[in-house]
Amino acid sequence: MGLSSLRYDWRWAMSILSPAELRRITAFKVARLRGMLHARNGATRERGFAVGVTLNNRTLVTVYGGSGFLGRHLVRAIARTGARIRVACRRPDLAGHLQPLGGVGQIMPVQANVRFPESLVTAAEDADAVVNLVGILFASGKQTFKSVQDEGAHNVAKAARLAGAQTFVHVSAIGADADSYSIYARSKAAGEAGVRKVYPNATIVRPSVVFGPEDEFFNRFGAMAQVFPALPLIGGGQTKFQPVFVGDVAQTLVAAIEGRCKTDAPYEIGGPEILTMKDVMERVLAYTMRSRPLIPLPFWLAKLQGALLQWLPNPPLTIDQVRLLEKDNVVSAEAEKDGRTLKGLGIEPVAVADVVPDYLEQFRPRGQFSVYKA
């Protein structure tokens, strides 16, 4: 490695790193950022597609935010390929539920926090691929949309570069828009921009509402149907969703890790059917065997409720969530045309009716025994 190459790498690193971060690295690590010192295990790339890795027992994948709802399903999907997984999360002591998803020693939780860049590099060390799943539904204390979904995504991408990872996959959300009225949507768009700045060839995946046994969508409405005498239809219940099964999102991310996704624009992942909020509520009532009136709630009144409820420790509704409901959450026509969807990847989507009734039975009057009426 010549002196001119080393100087070039330092100049490149200084363009994306703060002075404090530069002091914590060596010239050797900076050279690795440009892929000059080692070729990754099975790294492949087709024209217009992301750099991919071959998933086998020699591959290491770091998953930031891998202990959450989507994370556990992605970890299971990667583990089936034989690859080793390092799960970076704030509380690795609470991530023991992940280890039975793979073989002995295959899955290793480690401590990392996207708000502290110095904790991220170690988690990505020697990783062939890095996946960022970190996200929040509402702000709480120092866990703000800006610190987690904007700056946090940028921090993870820089850490992956420092560690020399060639493949980077970032999970955003349908509706990410820098000009949105919603803070959540703006932070998602800013996070994508931060990732692109460090990894121009990163794969960005935007799912619609994700459902599965541990979701906070159908489960929340099921709990409401169990307790409340009526259910609200915010904005009249006309907002459209395209719920996608968490297992399908995990398959999409595995495809991205393997380099089977295009990088020119984000992938938009939705399920096989489009449902309005009213459709969702009616299905929840049917699956939970409950009878509740559906009361239309204007957006302005919902925002007023959100202004009060958002101060609770785990708020059921916030003003920003109401703002999100003012816009449909479905796959765009452009993504469908370009094949940046489940169909374009050859993944057959799972329908709501195939999964949701099984895990909403806990909210029925007699639970799983409700089908046996006395």
53-72 residue pLDDT tens = 899 999 999 999 999 999 99
Tell me the mean pLDDT in the region 357-366.
93
79-94 pLDDT, tens digit each: 999 999 999 999 999 9
Is residue 313 very low, low, confident or very high in pLDDT (cuts 50, 70, 90)?
Answer: confident
Vertex 262, ends 325 and 246: CA angle to 5°? 45
Pick from 52-66, 315-329, 360-374: least confident? 360-374
Mean pLDDT of the residues in the chain: 89
The correct answer on CATH 1.10.645.10 for the domain covering 39-212+243-272+329-350 is no
Instruction: Give the global pTM.
Output: 0.87
Query: Is 161 a residue whose pLDDT tops 80?
Result: yes
* Distance of alpha carbon 176 from alpha carbon 187, whole angstroms: 8
Query: Is 38 a residue whose pLDDT tops 80?
Result: no
Which CA distances in Å does 59 have to 103, 129, 257? 14, 8, 11
124-159 pLDDT, tens digit each: 999 999 999 999 999 988 999 999 999 999 999 999
Tell me the mean pLDDT in the region 190-216.
96
Residues 6+ apart with CB under 8 A from 370: 289, 361, 364
The pLDDT value given to residue 78: 97
**CA 178 remoteness from chain centre:** 18
The pLDDT value given to residue 28: 42
Kindly report the length of the chain. Answer: 374
The pLDDT value given to residue 6: 41
Domain extents for the chain? 39-212+243-272+329-350
Tell me the mean pLDDT in the region 101-117.
95
Is residue 22 very low, low, confident or very high in pLDDT (cuts 50, 70, 90)?
Answer: low
> Helices (DSSP H) in the chain: which residue ranges?
3-14, 19-23, 27-33, 69-79, 121-124, 145, 151-163, 183-198, 218-227, 246-257, 277-287, 299-309, 319-324, 333-338, 352-360
**CA 366 remoteness from chain centre:** 34
